[in-house]
């Protein structure tokens, strides 16, 4: 443990002279030994492996079986068509995965990290990946630490470790400190610096002790790599649907095989009928259509500042009911802000003052003391240095103090730097010949060195009552999650001994500051709550601080809803899982706790999202059903572990994504219901015809044309339907809810039976028009083809127009707007046009074994084709009336 060793012991162990650093030769040797200072990326899958992974699907297995049968029977054209379908689906899946991978690689290359090191006795800047154990890092404000280091020199050094520990206040470092407790928490190892953390103020030197995967961040990355990623609800549903349809297809084929043998049909005909039924039972284009619908949703989300890494994650966002969010940066701004001030005149809300001319002189003096005892800078919205000091400078701007003039007319001639023992910083200022000492720091320490207090511009002796009044105010501020800081001063005759500077001071006042919530977050949390989604805060902050923020945001209402990491450890895994729903705020937690929280939530049947930006969020991002990382402030580790990245770091974007996800799922459901309904109609057409001893009304090639072309266009168009504006007023779907829940299954059965019955009726009419019956044993081939043409055309027209009925479960197409989905209108027109091409061009007509219908047949085709839509609209009228009566 490097934090338990002295500086000399560390230098000796690593064989380094801190004044010279490594030589170039030795650095190269160590680079070869320890490897590059980078985290191991997830191993990429090659194109061929990605391609074959797309074939691991029950629907594909059945189609491959159909290919084998058709080749065996010599129907090579059908075999080629089916194989093309399989290849197209697989290629589409590969393209989507490759695109997603490239998008993330581009994000990770946005920032190229550099480090300032001492080598060969000279300071030089090198790529951080070339850092090796033993390198001497030169540390100054604003620089990102490139590896884990043991500090060997620190001067007022503060490091922002919020991305690692969750603490929004920078950690005060001390190189000479030696810590003997081996269980010292990460955030309390004050003589160490960690990879990817940022220096906010001060300067120092550090010797690299760990690089790459051996760093603290590397250990977190290891946790990520060992977490098994479960399938999303959409993937589970599609897999289940595929298996169900595959089993149905097999059962039907076996049943037809038995029936065909009993009927004495020839072997070749029996096999081709089985292939036809398999093709009819399986929606070949389902996987491709779902991918297209999801891709459209991904594109829309990218325009709304959300990058999706995995297509199925879009749907999962729509079904989640828990959002776990880190506090710092995600819910709050990660920017300390002074909200209130206190002196003997009472409490003053700084945020409400603005540049009011009535600001009291006492308050102005307090702010002046803070500004003149600070080392930070803040100009044109950009601050450097300690966030607390930046907040004090902004407070000066808020109440109308001209900082530039103040700092130009007041010269600092001496100072006592801040340290963790005194918890104070003091400066001696020359104010045009008048000398004043200004001190800021922790109230408990400051009040003990004050002998007077300021009241209405006058210095009076401080009393115990005064002290108690200030201490009570500090406690009140702390209960509101405010960090307190006091200010004091004293006039002096000239330059004095530093030991005399922090004596006999005059207490001016006290301020409270907070890392404020993002302005848009509260409304977003309320919107999510109305949609049945619970927001949880998970943070490394103290219990009271976390609860105060949660109370402001509407996440929690009472302190009992808050639990700490230490309290979590007191429970067994089972006990914690049983109690998890009682809590809304989780404070003082480690990365391991966050993963434990997510797993406990999932064990209770929740679909969980974790949002965050820091390295400490990465394991829980990976463990959640949906991990959401911040694009601007997020670390590369967090982005890699996530399923979605918010480009604008806006918590509200995730609520927008949830809304989009719900609408995308609804659109996918419309497409699936449409395809299954159409396929059921096809199966019933063939199955019933064969049961009653008829020839197959449709052949395999015709069915493939319908499934891949005519069905696919409306299915894709339904997937691009406009969103339901009331979708966020509904509760989340249960994670295991079937596609056929809430009456959708009945819709499929009714629609399928109706389309099948009308198709058989058209098939019968084709025989009847030519003077034959389908039960006749001797029927000319052209009559059979004519009857199949009628069945083919009616089936297609029925399906095309029926797609309009599926836009909404209850609303009429006229109330929705017949032309509000222009894609669907275009799909119907295109489908009809393609049918005319197939029927009108002799070569194609002959390839599909079709005949040209006459005028009477066209009238029958249109009349029968509109019937399912008309009947469905009539049924919706009854449903709406029943709902109205139920509401009364």
Q: Which residues are catalytic?
A: 326
Phi and psi at residue 668, to the nearest 5°: -65, -40
Distance CA 804, CA 796 (A): 14
Helix (H, G, I), strand (E, B) or coil at 381: coil
Instruction: Output 29-37 pairs: Cβ under 8 A, ≥24 positions apart.
Output: 30/132, 30/133, 30/134, 31/130, 31/132, 33/132, 34/132, 34/133, 34/211, 34/212, 35/211, 35/212, 36/129, 36/130, 36/212, 37/128, 37/129, 37/130, 37/131, 37/132, 37/146, 37/147, 37/211, 37/212
| Contact indicator for 626, 644 with CB cutoff of 8 Å | yes
- Is the distance from CB of 370 to CB of 487 less than 8 angstroms? yes
Residue 517: DSSP 8-state: B
Please count the helices (runs of H) and the strands (runs of E) in the chain: 33, 26
- Asked whether the beta carbons of 155 and 171 are under 8 A apart, the reply is no
Distance (Å, rounded) from C-alpha 532 to C-alpha 548?
A: 23
Beta strands at 434-441 and 450-455: parallel, antiparallel or unpaired: unpaired
> Which residues, in sequence order, are bridge partners of residue 114?
127
Neighbours of 480 (CB within 10 A): 16
Half-sphere exposure of 626 (CA within 13 A, CB side): 35
* Measured distance CA(377)–CA(397) in Å, rounded: 12
Q: Distance (Å, rounded) from C-alpha 537 to C-alpha 188?
A: 23
DSSP secondary structure, 592-604, as one string:
HHHHHHHHHHHHT
Any residues with CB less than 8 A from the CB of 848 and at least 6 apart, and which?
Answer: 701, 702, 705, 792, 838
In order of 32, 116, 210, 421, 482, the CA distances from 35 in angstroms are: 5, 19, 11, 40, 45
| Length of the chain (residues) | 888
How far CA 395 is from CA of 122, 355, 387, 456, 804, in Å, comes to 41, 10, 12, 21, 60
Residue 665 C-beta-side C-alpha neighbours within 13 Å: 29
Stretch (H or E) spanning 672: helix 651-691
- Residue 670 has which token pair? 């419309």
The pair of three-digit structure tokens given for residue 661, joined into one six-digit string:
């996800």
> Following DSSP, what letter does each residue of 522-576 receive, concatenated?
HHHHHHHHHTT-EEEEE-SS-HHHHHHHHHHHTS-SSGGGEEEHHHHHTS-HHHH
Give the separation between CA 702 and CA 729, rounded to whole angstroms. Answer: 43
Cα separation of the two ends of the chain? 72
Please say whether the dihedral angle defined by the alpha carbons of residues 365, 366, 367 and 373, taken in this order, is positive or negative: positive
Question: Which candidate, 88, 83, 207, 194, places its Cα nearest to that of 152?
Answer: 207
> Any idea what the Cα angle at residue 124 is, between residues 122 and 125, rounded to 5°?
165
- Sign of the dihedral through C-alpha 400, 404, 406, 407: positive
How distant, in Å, are the alpha carbons of 5, 185, 448, 644 from that of 181?
11, 9, 31, 39
DSSP 386: -
d(CA 368, CA 437): 12
């Amino acid at each position: 443990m490097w934090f338990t060793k002295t500086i000399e012991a560390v230098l000796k162990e690593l064989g380094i002279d801190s004044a010279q650093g490594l030589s170039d030769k030795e650095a190269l040797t160590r680079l070869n030994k320890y490897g590059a200072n980078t985290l191991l990326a997830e191993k990429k899958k090659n194109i061929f492996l990605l391609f074959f992974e797309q074939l691991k699907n029950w629907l594909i297995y059945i189609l491959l079986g159909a290919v084998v049968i058709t080749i065996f029977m010599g129907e090579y054209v059908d075999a080629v068509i089916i194989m093309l379908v399989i290849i197209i689906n697989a290629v589409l899946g590969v393209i989507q995965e490759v695109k997603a991978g490239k998008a993330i690689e581009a994000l990770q290359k946005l920032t190229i990290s550099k480090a300032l090191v001492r080598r060969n006795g000279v300071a030089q800047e090198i790529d951080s990946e070339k850092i090796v154990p033993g390198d001497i890092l030169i540390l100054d404000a604003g620089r990102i630490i490139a590896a884990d280091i043991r500090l060997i020199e620190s001067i007022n050094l503060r490091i922002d470790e919020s991305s690692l520990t969750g603490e929004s206040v920078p950690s005060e470092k001390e190189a000479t400190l030696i810590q003997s407790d081996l269980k010292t928490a990460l955030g309390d190892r004050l003589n160490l610096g960690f990879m990817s953390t940022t220096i906010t103020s001060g300067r120092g030197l550090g010797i690299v002790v760990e690089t790459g995967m051996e760093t603290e961040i590397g250990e977190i990355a290891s946790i990520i790599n060992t977490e098994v990623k479960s399938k999303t609800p959409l993937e589970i549903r599609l897999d289940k649907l595929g298996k169900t349809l595959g089993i149905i297809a097999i059962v039907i084929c076996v049943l037809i095989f038995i029936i065909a043998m009993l009927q004495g049909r020839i072997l070749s005909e029996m096999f081709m009928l089985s292939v036809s039924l398999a093709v009819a039972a399986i929606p070949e284009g389902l996987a491709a259509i779902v991918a297209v619908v999801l891709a459209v949703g991904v594109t829309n989300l990218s325009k709304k500042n959300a990058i999706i890494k995995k297509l199925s994650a879009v749907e999962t966002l729509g079904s989640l009911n828990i959002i776990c969010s880190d506090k710092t940066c995600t819910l709050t701004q990660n920017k300390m802000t002074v909200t209130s001030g206190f002196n003997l005149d009472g409490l003053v809300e700084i945020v409400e003052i603005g540049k009011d001319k009535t600001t009291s002189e006492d308050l102005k003096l307090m702010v002046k003391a803070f500004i003149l005892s600070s080392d930070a800078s803040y100009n044109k919205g950009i601050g450097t240095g300690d966030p607390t000091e930046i907040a004090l400078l902004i407070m000066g701007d808020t109440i109308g103090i001209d900082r530039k003039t103040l700092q130009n007319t007041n010269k600092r001639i001496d100072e006592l730097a801040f340290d963790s023992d005194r918890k104070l910083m003091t400066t001696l200022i020359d104010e045009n010949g008048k000398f004043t000492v200004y001190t800021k720091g922790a109230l408990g320490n400051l009040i003990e060195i004050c002998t007077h207090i300021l009241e209405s511009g006058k210095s009076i002796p401080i009393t115990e009552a005064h002290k108690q009044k200030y201490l009570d105010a500090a406690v009140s501020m702390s209960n509101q999650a405010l960090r307190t800081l006091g200010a004091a001063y004293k006039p002096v005759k000239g330059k004095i001994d530093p030991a005399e500077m922090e004596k006999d001071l005059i207490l001016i006042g006290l301020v409270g500051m907070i890392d404020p919530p993002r302005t848009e977050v509260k409304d977003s949390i309320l919107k999510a709550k109305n949609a049945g989604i619970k927001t949880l805060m998970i943070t490394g902050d103290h219990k009271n601080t976390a609860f105060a923020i949660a109370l402001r945001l509407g996440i929690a209402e009472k302190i009992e809803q808050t639990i700490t990491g230490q309290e979590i450890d007191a429970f067994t895994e089972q006990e914690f899982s049983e109690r998890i729903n009682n809590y809304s705020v989780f404070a003082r937690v480690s990365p391991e706790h966050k993963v434990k929280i997510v797993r406990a939530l999932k064990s209770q049947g929740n679909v969980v999202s974790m949002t965050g930006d820091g390295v400490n969020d990465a394991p829980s991002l990976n463990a959640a059903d949906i991990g959401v990382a911040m694009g601007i402030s997020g670390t590369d580790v967090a982005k890699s572990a996530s399923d979605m990245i918010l480009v604008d770091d806006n918590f509200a974007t995730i609520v927008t994504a949830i809304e989009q996800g719900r609408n995308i799922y609804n659109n996918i459901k419309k497409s699936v219901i449409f395809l299954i309904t159409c396929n059921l109609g096809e199966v019933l057409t063939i199955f019933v015809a064969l049961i009653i001893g008829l020839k197959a009304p449709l052949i395999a090639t015709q069915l493939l044309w319908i499934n891949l072309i005519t069905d696919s266009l409306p299915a894709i168009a339904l997937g691009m339907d406009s969103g339901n504006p009331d979708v966020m007023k509904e509760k989340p779907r249960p994670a295991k809810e079937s596609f056929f829940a809430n009456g959708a299954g009945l819709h499929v059965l009714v629609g399928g039976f109706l389309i099948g019955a009308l198709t058989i009726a058209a098939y019968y009419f084709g025989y009847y028009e030519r003077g034959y019956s389908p039960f006749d044993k001797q029927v000319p081939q052209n009559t059979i083809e004519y009857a199949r043409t009628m069945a083919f055309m009616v089936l297609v027209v029925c399906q095309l127009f029926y797609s309009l009925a599926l836009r909404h479960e209850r609303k009429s197409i006229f109330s929705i707007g017949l032309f509000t989905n222009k894609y669907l209108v275009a799909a119907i027109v295109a489908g009809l046009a393609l049918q005319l091409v197939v029927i009108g061009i002799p070569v194609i007509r002959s390839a599909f074994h079709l005949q040209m219908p006459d005028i009477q047949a066209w009238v029958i085709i249109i009349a029968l084709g509109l019937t399912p839509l008309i009947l469905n609209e009539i049924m919706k009228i009854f449903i709406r009336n029943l709902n109205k009566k139920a509401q009364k």
